[in-house]
Structure 1
Amino acid sequence: MTVSLEQLQRCHVAVDLGAARTRVYVKGLGLVVDEPSVAAVNTRTGSLIAVGALAEQMTGRTPAYIRVARPVSGGTVVDIEMAQRMLRHLLGDKLRRQLRRKPRLRAAACTPHEADPLAQRATVETLVGLGARRVELVDTLIAAAVGCGLPVEQPTATMIMVCGAATTQIAVLSLGSIVTAVRIPVGGNAIDEAIIQHLRQHHELLLPSQSVRPLQLALHGNGLQLTGPALTEIHGRDVATGLARSVQVDTAAVRQAIHTPLTAVLDGVGKVLRDCPPDLVADLADRGIMMVGGSALLPGLDQMLRDATGMPVHIAERPDVCSVLGLGAMLDGKIQPMVLNPLAG
């Protein structure tokens, strides 16, 4: 762990700025914010119209003078000013007043594995702009492992996969540190895009991005397996006429379209296992892979990993909030480091 647990225990607030959702954990209060990382802005006046869930509902439905912005992409802040304004409104006046009373407000934030210095600096500047005097950065992989209850500080291997909206991060942890890890630029958004492109090419149907989730839920009963209903009815807009149209979609073909981006994830799992010491791989054969992140709930993804690796695969109890809850556990002092007494002589 790059930052010590003692330093994290001095922090007052933990922030997980994700591409899909922003979550804030306040010491003593718990998880206080869990909203989409979206803000709607009036381009004529520059004023903020909506943030969070309401702004997400506006996506694709706004007049020309309203812009729906996503200030976080791939776990990295790409618009610092907009991220600050979004966080300020998500926290609300009452909570901001409580935090402002802290004499030296300290914050902790999750950063993607091997995030470049510019990305780390953008995260720090976002929180400093909200009043934080000091910002501690923690690798998302370690925070997520702590949040789902893995024995991170013990000398045994634990494998975690953080399935985000824009990226998938896979790592093997031991003794509180990352042994080997990889970050793949494929996440839930890439899977959504694969479904949209499939329907456009094979059915000449334009599907709104917000309609992809119902299709994934239709696949939920059978996941990525070859069982369950053969056809699913989908509503969208005809490419040629622009009129609303319904089509019967072959779920097997959609399954095949989803498989394509997921092969990169399977390759990443294989790379991590190849780079891992044999003793730790032996531990993983019993423990398996723990999946966290919002995209971990993609139907059938866990079974696909089981088939590809032959290892047990588990989904965390609350996969979408594991990272911020792990940071919160470190802030509250619930995680104790393994004490190694130096040998005399």
Structure 2
Amino acid sequence: MTASLDQLRRCHVGVDLGAARTRVFVKGAGLVVDEPSVAAINTRTGSLIAVGEFAERMTGRTPSYIRVVRPVSGGTVVDIDMAQRMLSHLLDDKLRRTLRRKPRLRAAACTPHDADPLAQRATTETLIGLGARRVELVDTLIAAAVGCGLPVERPEATMILVCGAATTQVAVLSMGAIVTAVRIPVGGDAIDHAIVQLLRHQHELMLPSQSVRPLQLALSGNGLTARGPESTEIHGRDVATGLARSVQVRTASVREAIHTPLTTVLDGIGKVLRDCPPDLVADLADRGIMMVGGSALLPGLDQMLRDATGMPVHIAERPDVCSVLGLGAMLEGCIQPMQLDLLGS
């Protein structure tokens, strides 16, 4: 975390720019924006047509001159101008006027672990374009741990797994800092893509882009575990004829399809544990892993991690908004730094 708690308490607004969703927390008002990080533009005029939920519903349904774009990829702003326009329209007029009246508007933003200086600058420039005079950056891992109630300020090990759409971040925290961490370029989108490819190659079935997440369609109950249903019915479009068709998909084949992306995540967890001091690993054997992020809700994913690691695995109460709620808690001054008594004082 590059910003101190004292600096964060002076901030008025916190922003979590994710690849899947954008969330904004305003001090005193709480979570005011939770919308998809999507914008639709008219390529002929350059005008912005829609943002958020409405723009996402337009994906795959627009004429050629309307383009649906995602200005954030993997937690990094890839199009600063579009990100500014999207954020500005996601905030309603009343809130924009309130923020403009603050003469020294300060903002805080979540950034992925080990984000390079260029990515940090892109996030900073996005918020400065909205009127912020100063921008504080907070590591997503710290914010998510605070948001799900982990005792990050204590001299005890806590392990967190941030399951995002494009990346997965794993870290061990102690005494308010990151002991060891790794960012894996595999997220919920990779798991979804594996399911889509399975249906296309084995069943010659295409899923519409606006369908519910393919994994949640294909699985129910115990989902990815062997105790789940043997098969389930999937509706889609036939690759050859283009007509609507339904097929029965075996959940065992689904588990095989997502084995590769999940193995990469498990390798990342193993690397973090190998780099962690033995005393902290002993703490983790009892406390286990806390899962946050939108992809943490994939059915059966927690059980697969339990089986692979032998550690307890917990899912946060509101895993999708933990990062922005943790950022908000720091803005509101709900987190107190650990006080150390100096020897001889």
Pair in the same fold by TM > 0.5: yes
Residue 228 of structure 1: CA displacement? 3.2
> Is contact 1:288–1:311 with CA below 8 Å preserved after alignment?
yes
How much identity, in percent, do the aligned residues show?
A: 86
The residue that corresponds to 1:143 in the other structure is 143
Give CA deviations for 1:10-55 in whole Å, capped at 9, x if unaligned.
Answer: 0000000000000000000000000000001111111111110111
Asked if structure 1 preserves the Cα contact closer than 8 Å seen for 2:195 and 2:214, the reply is no
1:217 CA drift (Å): 4.4
Contact 2:111 2:140 in 1 (8 A): yes
CA shift, 1:3, in A, is: 1.4
Q: Which residue of 1 aligns with 2:252?
A: 252
Counterparts of 1:228 and 1:307, CA distance in 2 = 15
Task: Give, in whole Å, the separation in 2 of the partners of 1:314 and 1:249.
Answer: 29
Distance 1:24 1:311 in 2: 34
Greater shift in the superposed pair: 255-264 or 329-338:
255-264
- Which amino acid in 1 is paired with 2:74? G
Residue in 1 that maps onto 2:241: 241
Residue of structure 1 equivalent to 2:183: 183
Cα pair distance change 1:228/1:283, threshold 3 Å:
closer
Per the normalisation by structure 1, the TM-score is 0.98
State the Cα RMSD in Å.
1.1
Aligned to 1:17: 17
Aligned residue for 1:270, secondary structure, equals: helix
Q: Which amino acid aligns with 2:125?
A: E
- Supply the distance in 1 between the matched residues of 2:102 and 2:111 (Cα, whole angstroms): 24
Larger mean Cα displacement after TM superposition, 208-217 or 58-67: 208-217
Cross-structure match for 2:336 = 336
Any conservation in 1 of the 2:146–2:152 contact (CA below 8 Å)? yes
Q: Structure 1 residues 174, 294: closer, same or farther in 2, change over 3 A?
A: same
**Residue type at the aligned position of 1:271:** K
Partners of 1:192 and 1:212 within 8 A in 2:
no
- Structure 2 equivalent of residue 286 of structure 1: 286
Deviation of 1:259 (Å): 2.1
The separation in 1 between residues aligned to 2:200 and 2:23, in whole angstroms, is 34
> Which residue does the alignment assign to 2:201?
201
Hey, what's the Cα distance between the residues in 2 that align with 1:211 and 1:49? 22
Counterparts in 2 of 1:1-345, with a 5 A limit?
Answer: 1-213=1-213, 215-344=215-344
Asked if the contact 1:234–1:247 (Cα under 8 Å) also holds between the matched residues in 2, the reply is: yes
Q: 1:218 to 1:249 in 2, by over 3 A?
A: closer
Residue pair 1:77, 1:123 contacting (<8 A) in 2 also: yes
Question: Structure 1 stretch 134-143 or stretch 253-262: which is displaced more?
Answer: 253-262
Report how far residue 205 of structure 1 moved. Answer: 1.2
Q: Number of paired residues?
A: 345
**Whole-Å separation in 2 of the counterparts to 1:292 and 1:86:** 25
Give the conservation status (yes or no) of the 8 Å contact 1:192–1:209: no
**Structure 2 unaligned spans of 5+:** none
Q: With structure 2 as the length reference, what TM-score do the two structures score?
A: 0.98
Q: Is the 8 A contact 2:215 2:298 kept in 1?
A: no
Is the 2:16–2:109 Cα contact (8 Å) retained in structure 1?
A: yes
Output the CA distance in 2 between the equivalents of 1:254 and 1:138: 37
Q: Which runs of 5+ in 1 are unaligned?
A: none
- Residue 144 of structure 1 aligns to a residue whose secondary structure is helix
